[in-house]
Amino acid sequence: MSKTQIESISASLLQELEIIWDEVGETETNREKILIEIEDACKEAYTRKIEYAKEERTRLKQEIADSESRVIAICSVMEEPPVLGRQHPSDQCGRSLKEELGKIILKLEDMEKRKSERKNQFIQVIEDIRCVKDEINGESDETCSSDFSIDESDLSLRKLEELHTELYTLQELKRNRMKQIQDHLRTLESLCSVLGSSFRETVTKIHPSLIESEGSRSISNETLNKLDSSVNQWHETKIQRMQELQDLVTTMLEFWNLMDTPAEEQQKFMNVSCNIAATVSEITKPNSLSTDLLEEVKAELCRLEELKWSKMKELVLKKRSELEEICRRTHIVLEEQDIEVENVIKAIEAGDVNPENILEQIEYRAGKVKEEALSRKEILEKAEKWLNACEEENWLEEYNQDENRYNAGKGSHLVLKRAEKARALNRLLSMLEEYTELREEKEHERRRKRDLKKLQGQVTSEQDKGTPTRPQIAKKALRVSTSKRFATSPQTPQNDSPRSAKSITPLSRHG
């Protein structure tokens, strides 16, 4: 209602009151008094309305200021510049306080909504961080969903990014731990398989969640330490059992070689003996280092031990025969200590000596004989060829004296081939004899030159002492030396006809 309308209504009401007063006959004094009362009442009403309007104005300004402060506070917490409805006093022109309050309230509601969303983001990332930390520290998963308060003094994107970075680091640590645990489980499963142990029972003792294929596995420090300790423990057990098994297999192989165990008896433990030189990483077959297998190998060793003692006399005699055979083939004479071994058999039967020591002595002596035979290999081969050639020469002489040698019969072609081979060997004998004679002649020539040089040295010495020279004596000594050479040197054969094998002594030529 406008001011003119109010004045019009007041004038109309005052006119109506004047008419009533005229009819009533109200005096001027009373009229003045009533008008004063009306005026005072109007002033009082205006005053009340003015005070109320002032209070409303003050309230609106305070609400605007409070709202602006809250907006600024939220912007500060979120580290955002405050964007208010009025930046300058001029922006307030043409806008009432209520309009200004309405605008700032909308801004405040928007900021509070954004703050709530930001707070929820903080709550989520902090909750995730706590859950991952609890998994790493081994605390109960139930605490992850419990209520907790956050610091609302800093809800900035910078702080949120820091929390996301921390969460990513923890999640990466969690992934690495899960991979590490998975690797440990694979290693532990392989170790348990090789050692013949229960993988499920072993892992359950560490943490029940590790055996489950689904769900969340424990990645706590305690679980990881226990798992790592278990892997190291089983790995050490594998090394110890491998060394024990290799020692047992080495002894088993010695027994096999000592007693010439047949291959069919060795076949049962062939899968064990193949690991005698294997490394720890190369032994991967299931139960290849189980306690049952070790006990089985130990039982076999006990059986072989008993069998060895029961066959020890036989083994000593066998090794003794082998030593004699080696000496016979290599033309080496047994020493007295080797011959005395036969007398030890009685001592073995009586239990006075350890048969293993006797076997070691025989093996040692056999090794020495083999070394000596190896050094004489070339001579022995030549002697063997010489004896074979002499034998063939004797056979060829008998064959040439046989009047029926040209009669065709069964196997005659084989006889002819042998005769041809024998003739070739006789030519070889002639060449060997000529070579031997040539070497003897060269040796005599070296001796003659050495004697001549020695004689010349004596003559020179006598000349230095003033003794009369005797060239005739020197010439005579030279002639004597030359005549002795031709007298002792063998004659070169004049023909290539075969010689009688009975007149040849090949061993004396090599001896």
Crossing angle of helices 221-259 and 199-206, rounded to 10°: 150
CB 155 within 8 A of CB 115: yes
Average pLDDT, the chain: 77
Radius of gyration of the chain (CA): 63
Q: Which two three-digit tokens encode residue 314? A: 């036989």
Q: CA-based angle 213:219:224, to the nearest 5?
A: 105
End-to-end CA gap in the chain: 159
pLDDT category of residue 117 using cuts at 50, 70 and 90: very high
Q: Does pTM surpass 0.75?
A: no
Q: pLDDT value at position 406?
A: 61
Q: pLDDT value at position 485?
A: 37
Given a cut of 80, whether residue 301 has pLDDT beyond it is yes
Q: pLDDT value at position 377?
A: 72
Q: For 373-385, what is the mean pLDDT?
A: 72
Q: pLDDT value at position 488?
A: 39
Q: Which two three-digit tokens encode residue 492? A: 């070169």
CB 418 within 8 A of CB 388: no
The domain limits of the chain are: 3-85+95-116, 180-310, 312-375, 381-404+415-459+497-511
% of the chain at pLDDT higher than 70: 73
Q: pLDDT value at position 160?
A: 92
Given a cut of 70, whether residue 60 has pLDDT beyond it is yes
pLDDT category of residue 317 using cuts at 50, 70 and 90: confident
Q: For 66-83, what is the mean pLDDT?
A: 88
pLDDT in tens, 191-204: 999 999 999 999 98
pLDDT category of residue 349 using cuts at 50, 70 and 90: low
Q: pLDDT value at position 295?
A: 92
Q: Which of 54, 75, 56, 67 is nearest to 100 (CA)?
A: 67
Q: For 274-300, what is the mean pLDDT?
A: 88
Q: pLDDT value at position 120?
A: 92
